[in-house]
């Protein structure tokens, strides 16, 4: 999502995604992207209120804000992820999210749930972090650092994609100055794009707009009030809300259906989700599960946390 993940106008998008789940929704908000902000709790509360009011859902929260937080918070975060099947993440800093998640057990746990059929609904900063090349928005726009890119989480790299995801593509908050392309402005973004490898495809997502990717069907759909802009080589493609397009538009030189060994299969042939449980894991169970995950035994740790048994 380009923005507006808790706006009333995006409720239909959430409902459509929730209907695609194989089991009753168990929504989880990932706190990490804004974990450094003093108002992180207010952001979580806004998501929770939106889910209850607009979607009739009770949200869990995964309080993984910092890698060096108290282990009890991490244990609760892992337990929430283990039980969830609809993950929301949004505002904050893309580079902070990448630093906190890349190479660590928490984001690996989220990806493991995605492999099992969960939906990932990432907006704004969180969506940028999923790129191979992540835009350092705060560093350039607020701090004044020289134009550059940082290494992202590259969630879709195993499928052959080489993406730079840019949210807030049509931002107009600048008034008299250009803040499109996530506050960079188009002139400055043109310089940034010249720094990318020739193979990189830019996916620009307008505000209050979602671009949903179905890897099994090799299709994308645009929903919301705006559209998406795709920059690949010398081409510029535009798809408006209500339109679909093949994922080949995002990976023009890659056979989308060819999966690298050990990567998530398409949505249509993913394994069933873990069954839900009404029993909350005990503190001892959470500690053991977290230790398993930290030591690299991700499947066993997630299974223990989701079962809630000592």
- The verdict on 261 and 135 lying in the same domain is yes
Confidence at residue 167, expressed as pLDDT on a 0 to 100 scale: 99
For residue 225, give the DSSP letter: S
Same domain for 49 and 169, yes or no, is no
* Sheet of strand 219-224, all strands in order from the earlier edge strand to the far edge: 209-214, 219-224, 244-246
Whether 4 and 14 have beta carbons less than 8 Å apart is answered as: no
Q: Positive or negative, the Cα torsion across 253, 3, 153, 61?
A: negative
Query: Tokens in use for 40?
Result: 């992180």
According to the 3-state scheme, what is the secondary structure of 25-63?
CCEEEECHHHCCCCCHHHHHHHHHHHHHHHHCCCCEEEC
pLDDT band, residue 284 (cuts 50/70/90): confident
The answer to whether residues 230 and 236 touch, using CB atoms and an 8 Å cutoff, is yes
The parent domain of residue 219 ranges over: 130-268
Q: Indicate whether 251 and 150 sit together in one domain.
A: yes
Average pLDDT of the chain to the nearest whole number: 87
Query: 177 and 205: one domain?
Result: yes
Q: Which of 40-54, 141-155, 199-213, 281-295 has the lowest mean pLDDT?
A: 281-295
The whole-model pTM stands at 0.85
Q: Based on the fold, state whether residues 260 and 295 are members of the same structural domain.
A: no
**Same domain, yes or no: 50 and 74:** yes
What's the CA gap between 130 and 107, in Å, rounded? Answer: 11
> In this predicted structure, what is the pLDDT of residue 202?
98
Q: How confident is the model at residue 261 (pLDDT cuts 50, 70, 90)?
A: very low
Residues 301 and 201 in one domain: no
Number of domains in the chain: 2
Contact 88, 141 (CB under 8 A): no
Q: Could you identify the residue written with the tokens 């030591």? A: 295
Same domain, 83 and 177: no
Tell me the mean pLDDT in the region 156-168: 95
Task: Please count the other Cβ atoms lying within 10 Å of the Cβ belonging to residue 17.
Answer: 17
CATH number of 89's domain: 3.40.50.880
The per-residue pLDDT for range 187-208, each reduced to its tens digit, is: 999 999 999 999 999 999 999 9
Tell whether 139 and 225 lie within a shared domain: yes
pLDDT tens string 205-229: 999 999 999 999 999 999 999 999 9
Among residues 284, 286, 283, which one has the least CA distance to residue 306? 286
pLDDT of amino acid 91: 96
CB 128 within 8 A of CB 134: yes
Average pLDDT over residues 162-172: 98
- Of 161-175, 228-242, 274-288, least confident by mean pLDDT is 274-288
* CA nearest to 303, candidates 283, 278, 273: 273
Do 225 and 105 share a structural domain?
A: no
- Taking 60 as the threshold, does the pLDDT of residue 174 lie above it? yes
What per-residue confidence (pLDDT) applies to 306?
64
Task: Report how far residue 32's alpha carbon sits from residue 45's, in angstroms, rounded to the nearest whole number.
Answer: 14
Same domain membership, residue 290 and residue 228: no
Spatial distance between the Cα atoms of 192 and 240, rounded to a whole number of angstroms: 25
**What Cα–Cα distance (Å) separates residue 47 from each residue in 89, 128, 147, 291?**
9, 19, 32, 29
**pLDDT 10s digits, 56-67:** 998 899 999 999
- The C-alpha atoms of residue 207 and residue 271 are separated, in whole angstroms, by 33
Whether residue 76 is found in the same domain as residue 188:
no
């Amino acid at each position: 999502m380009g923005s507006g993940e808790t706006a009333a106008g995006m409720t239909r998008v959430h409902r459509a995604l929730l209907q695609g789940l194989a089991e009753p929704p168990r929504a989880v908000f990932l706190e990490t992207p804004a974990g450094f902000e003093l108002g992180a709790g207010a952001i979580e509360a806004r998501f929770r209120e939106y889910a209850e009011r607009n979607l009739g859902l009770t949200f869990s929260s995964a309080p993984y804000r910092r890698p060096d937080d108290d282990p009890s918070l991490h244990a609760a975060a892992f337990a929430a992820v283990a039980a969830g099947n609809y993950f929301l993440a949004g505002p904050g800093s893309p580079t902070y999210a990448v630093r906190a998640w890349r190479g660590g057990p928490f984001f690996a746990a989220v990806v493991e749930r995605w492999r099992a059929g969960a939906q990932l609904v990432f907006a704004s900063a969180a969506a940028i972090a999923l790129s191979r090349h992540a835009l350092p928005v705060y560093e350039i726009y607020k701090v004044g650092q020289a134009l550059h890119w940082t290494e992202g989480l590259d969630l879709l790299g195993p499928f052959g994609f080489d993406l730079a995801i840019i949210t807030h593509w049509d931002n107009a908050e600048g008034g008299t100055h250009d803040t499109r392309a996530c506050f960079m402005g188009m002139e400055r973004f043109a310089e940034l794009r010249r720094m990318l490898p020739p193979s990189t495809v830019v996916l620009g997502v307008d505000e209050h707009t979602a671009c949903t990717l179905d890897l099994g069907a090799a299709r994308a759909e645009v929903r919301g009030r705006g559209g998406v802009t795709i920059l690949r080589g010398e081409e510029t493609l535009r798809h408006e809300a209500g339109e679909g397009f093949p994922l080949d538009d995002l990976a023009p030189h890659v056979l989308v259906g060819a999966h690298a060994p050990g990567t998530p299969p398409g949505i249509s042939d993913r394994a069933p989700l873990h069954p839900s449980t009404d029993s909350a894991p005990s503190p001892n169970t959470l500690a053991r599960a977290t230790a398993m995950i930290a030591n690299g035994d991700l499947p066993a740790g997630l299974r223990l946390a989701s079962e809630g048994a000592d």
